[in-house]
Amino acid sequence: MQCQECGKRPATLHFTKIVNGEKTEFRICETCAREKGEIIPGTTGGFSIHNLLSGFLDFNPGSHSHNPSAKIPENLRCEECGLTYSQFSKIGRFGCSSCYKYFNDRLDPLFKRVHGNTVHVGKVPKRAGNHIQVKRKLDELRQKLQERILQEEFEEAARLRDEIRELEKTLSAE
Amino acid sequence: MPNLRFTEQPLSKWMSSGGKDSDIVISSRVRIARNLLYAPFPMLATSEQSEDVLKRLEDVLDDERIQAFGKLYPILLEDLDDLDKKILVEKHLISPSLANESKSGAVFISEDESLSIMVNEEDHLRIQCLYPGFQVQEAWEKATSVDDIFEDHVDYAFDDNRGFLTSCPTNVGTGLRASVMMHLPALVLTGQINRILSAVSQVGLTVRGIYGEGSEAMGNLFQISNQITLGQSEDEIIENLYSVVLQIIDHEKAARETLLKESHLRMMDRVMRSYGILSHAAIMESKEAAQRLSDVRLGVDLGLIDSLSPQVLNELNVMTQPGFLQKIYSENMSPGERDMYRAMLIRDKMGK
Ligand SMILES: [Zn+2]
Ligand SMILES: [Zn+2]
């Protein structure tokens, strides 16, 4: 099936747009979806980012059927807030922070599509995330250590090795 | 009593100084989204839970380090009437969804209105910093230091892998949305805008027109912001936005020079024609106002008009919106009356 927007590329995304309770289905290609979703989000006649997300969530690679309930286990729900995965895929919002844990297995493809990435590398809260900062620092030092060894700068390598040992100690003490 | 100081003046104090590259970048904004551990996100929270979140976040206002950012005024959304809410939205101090949909929604606004902290919007906490001109780095630094202070008092929902957990999957990770509002009339006039905007969206940024009552981009204003919040560090996000905006500034400058050099008379005519119409028209629709104000702003920036300050134009951008018009003239006006009052207001401001 061809994209309804450009008529050129094959349609890979299915959208449900609901305006005043009236449901309209769209079949469009990813390029057009991105354009639509990004350039006129939330405006009348446009796709909102949450419509776009639902499109991503319902996206079923290699299949022409558009029946989300067929592939989502009925019982998949967040035990903390009660949100089901199918509700999540309709509204495009999590109900609580535990949803991330309960839906975790299904989130990588979504995040990959939205962000191109699945793992956070930015700021870490100081109290909750001290060990993450230590882990990151360790990775960095280990890499430096490898470089020093390759360049045969052994004095500096020894210093780095000691620093790594110290950090490993603080990590295991936690 | 609700605090009405923020809805009386159209221009926030932070806007009165121009800031870097302010002939092209109108403003820079950074927003970070945070949630508290153990409370459902606002969408599913009960009234009690939302009130509790508000209380816990409000307590942070007592911290001296927060007070160092200038006095913050807490405002409960339920204490505001619809018109005042509308005006706070028009000034970008709160989001439409905080105004319309939130339970125990509140906002803490700093004296100069450069810092606004929303509570119980889509996420429990949204820290927003606004700066004039191209100061996205400065806005980020302020936002992150406010974030640090909140973090000292409350436990955030954070995951080793996913970062800061947010209600919407598009904010997870850093929770950071950095954006700049750009005035790009020369790129629009020379027909280069679409090429540039599509190039921008290739590098993980999004572009939005600034919408008026319809759905068309108005007044050649474009908001450029980061799309990705997961898998890039805050510094990478800010730097990426910074370098792309810098390039757009260069393109816009070059296009302005070309226009001045190759079509000086036509530019002069366009700018002065819009100036004339704004100073004399009796009916002014919002879309026309935005376009004419854009022409006049370009005229001021290019030195073709020297009798107007950019501040007057910033002021008019805010004041010609429906909420402010209602505030100034009459709460109950039809769209037709609105166009009349809009024309009157612009004449007053320009006719000096
Ligand atoms: Zn297409
Ligand atoms: Zn949940």
Of the partner residues B174, B204, B215, the one whose CB lies closest to the CB of residue A122: B174
- Structural contact between residues A138 and A167, judged by C-beta atoms closer than 8 angstroms: yes
Continuous segment of H or E residues that includes residue B72: strand B72-76
pLDDT surpasses 60 at B326 = yes
What is the model's pLDDT at position A30? Answer: 64
B320: left (phi over 0), alpha (psi -120 to 50) or beta: alpha
Mean pLDDT of B325-329: 86
Continuous segment of H or E residues that includes residue B209: strand B205-211
Closest CA to B181 of B211, B204, B151, B161: B211
Mean pLDDT of A116-122: 94
* A49–B230 C-beta distance less than 8 A: no
pLDDT surpasses 70 at B90 = yes
**Residues 294-333, chain B: which have Cβ within 8 Å of A?**
none
pLDDT surpasses 50 at A112 = yes
Of the partner residues A49, A96, A120, the one whose CB lies closest to the CB of residue B40: A96
pLDDT surpasses 60 at A39 = no
B163: left (phi over 0), alpha (psi -120 to 50) or beta: left
- Alpha-carbon dihedral A119, A125, A128, A134, rounded to 10 degrees: 70
Least confident of A53-67, A107-121, B201-215: A53-67
Mean pLDDT of A135-155: 87
Q: Which ligand is nearest to the CA of A27?
A: 1
Ligand 1 mean position, distance from CA B42 (Å):
36
Of the partner residues A92, A110, A115, the one whose CB lies closest to the CB of residue B228: A115
Residues ≥6 apart with Cβ < 8 Å to B348: none
Which ipTM was obtained for this model?
0.86
- Highest mean pLDDT: which range of A40-44, A121-125, B9-13, B141-145: B141-145
B180 is in an annotated binding site: yes
- Structural contact between residues B83 and B323, judged by C-beta atoms closer than 8 angstroms: yes
- Structural contact between residues B243 and B251, judged by C-beta atoms closer than 8 angstroms: no
> What is the CA B222 to chain-centroid distance, rounded?
11
Mean pLDDT of A36-43: 38
Per-residue pLDDT reduced to its tens digit, B7-20:
777 767 766 667 78
B28 is in an annotated binding site: yes
What is the model's pLDDT at position A34? Answer: 60
**Residues 180-239, chain B: which have Cβ within 8 Å of A?**
197, 201, 204, 206-209, 211, 215, 227-234, 237
What is the model's pLDDT at position B261? Answer: 94
What is the model's pLDDT at position B317? Answer: 84
What is the model's pLDDT at position A72? Answer: 60
Q: What share of chain B is helix, strand, coil (3-state, %, to 5)?
A: 50, 20, 30
What is the model's pLDDT at position B328? Answer: 84
- Structural contact between residues B327 and B87, judged by C-beta atoms closer than 8 angstroms: yes
pLDDT surpasses 90 at B110 = yes
Per-residue pLDDT reduced to its tens digit, B266-293:
999 999 999 999 999 999 998 899 999 9
A52 DSSP β-pair partners:
none
Least confident of A107-116, A137-146, B70-79: A137-146
Higher pLDDT, B336 or A98: A98
Q: How far apart are alpha carbons B13 and B130 in whole angstroms? A: 11
* B208–A115 C-beta distance less than 8 A: no
Q: How far apart are alpha carbons B267 and B256 in whole angstroms? A: 10
Chain B CA closest to residue A124: B163
Ligand 1 mean position, distance from CA A33 (Å):
7
Q: pTM to 2 decimals?
A: 0.79
* B155–A124 C-beta distance less than 8 A: no
Mean pLDDT of B140-167: 95
Higher pLDDT, B3 or B153: B153
pLDDT range class, residue A73, cuts 50, 70, 90: low
pLDDT range class, residue A62, cuts 50, 70, 90: very low
In A, what residues contact B, Cβ < 8 A?
A: 34-35, 38-41, 43-46, 49-50, 53, 80-81, 83, 91-97, 100-101, 107, 110-111, 114-129, 132
Residues ≥6 apart with Cβ < 8 Å to B171: B33, B123, B177, B229
What is the model's pLDDT at position B7? Answer: 77
Higher pLDDT, B41 or B4: B41
B266 is in an annotated binding site: no
* B161–A43 C-beta distance less than 8 A: no
Q: How far apart are alpha carbons B197 and B209 in whole angstroms? A: 11
Render the burial of B35-58: b for 16+ CB within 10 Å, e for the rest.
bbeebbbbbbbeeebbeebbebbb
Higher pLDDT, A4 or A111: A111
What is the model's pLDDT at position B207? Answer: 83
Per-residue pLDDT reduced to its tens digit, B229-255:
999 999 999 999 999 999 999 999 999
* A35–B201 C-beta distance less than 8 A: yes
B29 is in an annotated binding site: yes
Mean pLDDT of B219-227: 91
Mean pLDDT of B157-183: 95
Ligand 1 mean position, distance from CA A1 (Å):
11
Mean pLDDT of B39-52: 94
Chain A CA closest to residue B43: A95
Mean pLDDT of chain B, nearest integer: 90
Per-residue pLDDT reduced to its tens digit, A91-105:
899 999 999 999 999
What is the model's pLDDT at position A121? Answer: 93
| Residue of B97, B159, B195 to mutate, testing the A interface (most A Cβ within 10 Å of its Cβ) | B159
